Amino acid sequence: MIRFAAAFSASAATTLPTTLATTLTTSALLAALAASSAGAAPAVPAAASPALTTVAERSGFQSTGRYAEVVDLCARFQKAYPKQVRCFEFGRTPENRPMLALAVTRTGALTAEQAKKKGVPVLLIQGGIHAGEIDGKDAGFLALREALENRAAPGALERQVLLFVPVFNVDGHERFGRYNRPNQRGPVEMGWRTTAQNYNLNRDYVKADTTEMQAMLALVNAWDPLAYVDLHVTDGAKFQPDISIQVEPVHGGDVPLRAAGSALQQGILADLKAQGSDPKPYYISFAKEDDPMSGFVDSMPTPRFSHGYFVMRNRFGVLVETHSWKDYPTRVRITRNTIVSLLSQVAQHGKDWSRIAQEADARASAMGGADFTLTYRTTFNAKTIDFPGYAYTRGHSDISGALMTQYDETRPQTWTVPLRDEIVPELTVAAPQGGYLVPLAEAARVAAKLKQHGITYKVLDADAMAADVETFRATKTTFGAKSFEGHQTLAVDGQWARERRSVSKGALFVPIAQPKAQLVMTLLEPRGPDSLLAWGEFNNWFERKEYMEDYVAEDVARAQLAADPALRAAFRKQLDTDADFNKSPQARLEFFARRHASWDERYNLYPVMRTALTY
């Protein structure tokens, strides 16, 4: 389940796995897991069926298997279909468990290089980013077997590569328990939402703090999937609809690619409706928590989330949310249907959509000077919809002391509620003509992040004295009041302004002329909600370190006033027109401190510049 709340961690860049393309045998995989999972539950018993079925399937979808089953099945699928399936490890978790993926196709393109050479679209489907929401793992193996048997999406594997990651949050998956999701109906036991280091991976796509996300981004950089599908289970209120399908770009991103994104979304919704589901194209969470009559508010996800991130790469991000109050057999069936629909949609349209995505890359490479939307907002324009819910009552709780909602699932009821789904740009900035310059002092740190995202940059081999650049000085800074995802976040106000500054050899030049230009701006525009600055990567630059004592500032002020009639007039005017300034001794003294030679000219100066030139 994903909630659109503020979410903000720093860790050193880790070495990318050397086993990215390693094909593994059953015995090697099982040995690897045994060596790295001391204390974990035992693997599937030796007497278990050797067929390509899951613990979930054999239990009537009452239970789900441990990660040893994923290891075993990954190898079994490869053994059963050696020309169509390649099982490989693409990373290791902090608890040293293997992160596994299956490349599945009948095109012969079982490696990233082969897929690119053949021009075959890649569909990446990921389960278990929140490992308690594990429908995607069991549904994915079921859909995979049926597709290989041509009983589901017949012919689809002849036109694409399915890249299936059964469990993204592997360590969280192995934190197994019966009541990890108390508001979810099945399976009997499941994993945990966060990683072994207590990170929420679906807040980590831009900042990429975690070992897991760094491995995933390496996988994405290698395969360049046309669509990235993130399988979840939502919780919250009780209602009848069983799934929501959110796709971007639809509300934002490259305009021609939005039309393709909308076609993908509508195709999935139509397929699910035809199979008896009641899917919704928006996140089914009340505008006001626990109040059905508050209705729903659609939104444009920020890039910290999976489907907000892939927009910035000119690819499709698909968020799938089954409803936690449906039982596990129902949820797995619906998730399986969604995967089959995606396979069919990409088989039918993948070539055309890949062409449109590549054209979007070309447009991004030419966006120097063009407007780019950093944030979107949902307007207050609402339409009234009929929503299938259940009868409910609201009353005072003697437990919590709050107004609480009680649902009666035996009495279906149609709710007439508002839906706000008009989404418009909120903050738009012009892209630099040339790109961004990162000073030498920050070059190594920023370069590590750029590499993780596959962004192109250049290290300057000579000094550039008195370069004509744009700098950003914050006029207001707001630090997060508490830690969020291991970070103290920062929001700034301010504007870019032209200035001449020296740029040292070893600084970075990040050109805007590249396919990932929107991702470059996501990372480096300071007012972006998921910029490196917003995640607190540059907080030191916005902390004042040098001061003069108040009694010294008093003397400085009197000397300045005596020497400069214009300054006396400006000081008097601010006293007369700014009541807050007038009442604040510190603000009044700072008025003079800012005009003294000791003032730190780098205070509140963002340590990234924009340039109209290319280097």
> In this model, does residue 377 exceed pLDDT 90?
yes
Are 23 and 87 spatial neighbours (Cβ–Cβ below 8 Å)?
yes
Judged by DSSP in three states, 93 sits in coil
The two structure tokens encoding residue 13: 């860049």
DSSP string, 291-311: -GGG-EE--PPPTTSHHHHGG
> What's the N-to-C CA distance of the chain in angstroms?
44
Dihedral of alpha carbons 417, 297, 127, 152, sign: positive
Q: pLDDT-derived band of residue 235, with 50, 70 and 90 as boundaries?
A: confident
User: What DSSP string describes 217-258?
Assistant: HHHHHHH--SEEEEEEEE-SS--S--EEEEEESSSSS-HHHH
**Nearest in space to 201 (alpha carbons), one of 185, 217, 187:** 217
**Cβ–Cβ under 8 Å, residues 469 and 500:** yes
pLDDT at 202 over 70: yes
Lowest mean pLDDT among 17-21, 312-316, 513-517, 607-611: 17-21
Q: Report which of 220, 195, 213, 192 is spatially closest to residue 125, judged by C-alpha positions.
A: 220
Write out the two tokens for 481: 């009041």
Contact 597, 557 (CB under 8 A): no
- Given a contact cutoff of 8 angstroms between Cβ atoms, the answer to whether 128 and 173 are in contact is yes
Distance CA(129)–CA(409), nearest Å, equals 30
Distance between CA 450 and CA 132 in Å, rounded? 31
Q: Is the pLDDT of residue 120 over 60?
A: yes
Which residue from 81, 157, 100 is spatially nearest to 342, judged by alpha carbons? 157
The answer regarding whether domain 22-362 maps to CATH 3.40.50.12780 reads: no
Output the pLDDT for position 547. Answer: 85
Tell me whether residue 197 is exposed, middle or buried, using C-beta atoms within 10 angstroms of its C-beta: 0 to 12, 13 to 18, 19 or more: middle
Q: For residue 162, what are its two tokens?
A: 């399915």
Of residues 349 and 22, more confidence is placed in 349
Q: Give residue 244's pLDDT.
A: 98
The arithmetic mean of pLDDT across residues 209-234, rounded, is 98
Beta bridge partners of 609: 437
Lowest mean pLDDT among 19-33, 346-360, 388-402: 19-33
Cβ-based burial of 9 (10 A; exposed 0-12, middle 13-18, buried ≥19):
buried
Average confidence score pLDDT of the chain: 92
Mean pLDDT, rounded, for 555-583: 94
Q: Mind giving me the DSSP string for 325-390?
A: TS-HHHHHHHHHHHHHHHHHHHHHHHHHHHHHHHHHHHHHHT-TT-EEEEEEEE-S--EEEEEEEE
- State yes or no: pLDDT of 18 exceeds 90: no
Q: Six-digit token pair at 609? A: 């510049």
Give the per-residue pLDDT at 182. 93
pLDDT at 46: 35
Return the pLDDT at 50. Answer: 56
Tell me which amino acid residue 462 is: A
The one-character DSSP state at 158 is: G
CB count, 10 Å around CB of 550? 11
Distance of CA 238 to the CA centre of its chain: 27
Q: How confident is the model at residue 548 (pLDDT cuts 50, 70, 90)?
A: confident
Q: Mean per-residue pLDDT for 264-291?
A: 97
Q: What is the mean pLDDT of residues 244-261?
A: 97
Does residue 445 surpass a pLDDT of 70? yes
Helix (H, G, I), strand (E, B) or coil at 342: helix
Q: Can you tell me the distance from the alpha carbon of 504 to that of 508, in angstroms, rounded to the nearest whole number?
A: 9
* Least trusted range by pLDDT, from 47-51, 313-317, 473-477: 47-51
Query: ∠ at Cα 80 (75, 81), nearest 5°?
Result: 100
Tokens of 258: 């939005």
Residue position matching structure tokens 């939502």: 234
Find where tokens 């703090």 sit: 209
- The number of CA neighbours under 13 Å toward the Cβ of 462 is 5
The full 3-state SS of 252-304, as one line of letters, equals CCCHHHHHHHHHHHHHHHHHHHHCCCCEECCCCCECCCCCHHHCEECCCCCCC
Parallel/antiparallel/unpaired status of strands 98-104 and 22-23? unpaired
Over 50: is that where the pLDDT of 179 sits? yes
CA distance linking residue 602 with residue 471, whole number of Å: 11
Contacts of 110 (CB under 8 A, 6+ apart): 85, 86, 103, 161
Q: Which residues pair with 473 in a beta bridge?
A: 495, 605
Q: Which two tokens mark 266?
A: 């509508």
Furthest-apart CA atoms within the chain: distance in Å: 94
Q: Which helix (H) or strand (E) holds 122?
A: strand 122-126
Please name which of 249, 160, 167 lies closest in space to residue 215, comparing C-alpha atoms: 167
Q: Phi-psi category of 314—alpha, beta or left, where left has phi over 0 and alpha has psi -120 to 50?
A: left
> With 80 as the cut, is the pLDDT of residue 5 above it?
no
Q: Look up residue 360 and give its amino acid.
A: A
Catalogue the E-assigned strands of 379-422.
Answer: 383-396, 403-420
Residues near 302 by beta carbon (within 8 Å), at least 6 away in sequence: 4, 308, 375, 529, 530
* Mean pLDDT of the 473-481 span: 97
Query: Would you call 59 exposed, middle or buried from its count of C-beta atoms within 10 A (0-12, 13-18, 19+)?
Result: middle
| Peptide bond before residue 166 is cis, with ω within 30 degrees of 0 | no
How far is 576 from 394, CA to CA, in rounded Å? 54
| Domain range list for the chain | 22-362, 383-425, 427-544+603-611, 550-593
Q: List 435's β-bridge partners, or say none.
A: 511, 611
**Alpha-carbon distance 418 to 288, whole Å?**
12
